[in-house]
Amino acid sequence: MVYRPSEGRNQKKQTPPIQPDLVPLMNLFITIVPFLLTIVVISQVAMVALNFSTPGGGGPGGSSGGIGGSGPEIKVIIMASAGNQLYPGFEIRGWEGKTVSIRNQGGGTKFDFVTLNSSLAAIRKSVSGDQITVVVYPDVLYGDLIQTIDLCKLNGFPNVIYKPASVSYGSGG
């Protein structure tokens, strides 16, 4: 006697597993990934800040801009050209009544940031305040100014006052 096959039994033949069609998804990814790669910001953009919120006003042209502090005012003067009492380099004033001159090697345009760094580190050890004034002449390049401010902040002077040098142009002769 022959019985019909049970209905509960899977009567289909074993078929190989069907792979999902990934091609449309791949197409989408191949479009999106290069697009995102083009707009991604690879370089880390940092910032150097100046604060002008002083109790007594101030600002770049003011005589007492920045955050108030005690002790002598230490100034880092950045000069780019030679002239009347000027030379390309740095001059640090107000540290124990001394004036530290850091001239560019050979009078060139390359500033000696290494010596400035070591001088600022020495000043930091003997000075209690955390404020420093950066006086900049008009022809100094922006990159040199920012790197000077960077060194000031790096050596424990977070409160940097930006002050343009007072330049007077005579008629000559």
Partner 1 sequence: MRKVRRKFADAAALSITSLLDILTILLVFLIKNISMESQKISAPQNMLLPTTITNQELIDNGLTVLVKVFPDKVLIGTDNINAGTLTQLVSDATSREIIFNYMKNEANQISLLNSRKGTNYQPCMLIQADKSIPCQYITQLVKIGAGATFANIYFSTLQDENWLRQSAQQAR
Residue 82 near partner 1 by CB under 8 A: no
> Exactly one of 50, 67, 86, 100 binds partner 1 (CB under 8 A); which one?
50
Give dist(CA 27, CA 33) in Å, integer: 10
> Exactly one of 51, 99, 101, 109 binds partner 1 (CB under 8 A); which one?
51
Residue 48 near partner 1 by CB under 8 A: yes
Residues with Cβ within 8 Å of residue 139, at least 6 apart in sequence? 80, 81
> Phi/psi zone of residue 96: left (φ > 0), alpha (ψ -120 to 50 degrees), beta?
left
In sign, the C-alpha dihedral spanning 97, 51, 60, 101 is positive
The residue among 143 and 172 lying less far from partner 1, judged by its C-beta, is 143
> Exactly one of 10, 11, 19, 128 binds partner 1 (CB under 8 A); which one?
19
Are 156 and 69 within 8 A, CB to CB? Answer: no
> Exactly one of 95, 133, 137, 161 binds partner 1 (CB under 8 A); which one?
137
> Exactly one of 18, 45, 63, 85 binds partner 1 (CB under 8 A); which one?
45
Beta pairing partners, 107: none
C-alpha separations of 50 from 32, 46, 73 in Å: 40, 14, 17
- Which residue reads 């791949």 in tokens? 26
> Exactly one of 86, 113, 129, 159 binds partner 1 (CB under 8 A); which one?
113
Residue 110 near partner 1 by CB under 8 A: yes
State the minimum distance, in angstroms, from the CB of residue 14 to partner 1. Answer: 18
Beta pairing partners, 99: 93
Give dist(CA 136, CA 47) in Å, integer: 19
> Exactly one of 75, 94, 112, 130 binds partner 1 (CB under 8 A); which one?
112
> 88 is written with which tokens?
């390309």
Enumerate binding residues for partner 1 (CB under 8 A). 19, 22, 25-26, 29-30, 32-33, 36-37, 39-41, 43-53, 59-61, 105, 110, 112-114, 117, 136-143, 145-147, 149-151, 153-154, 162, 164
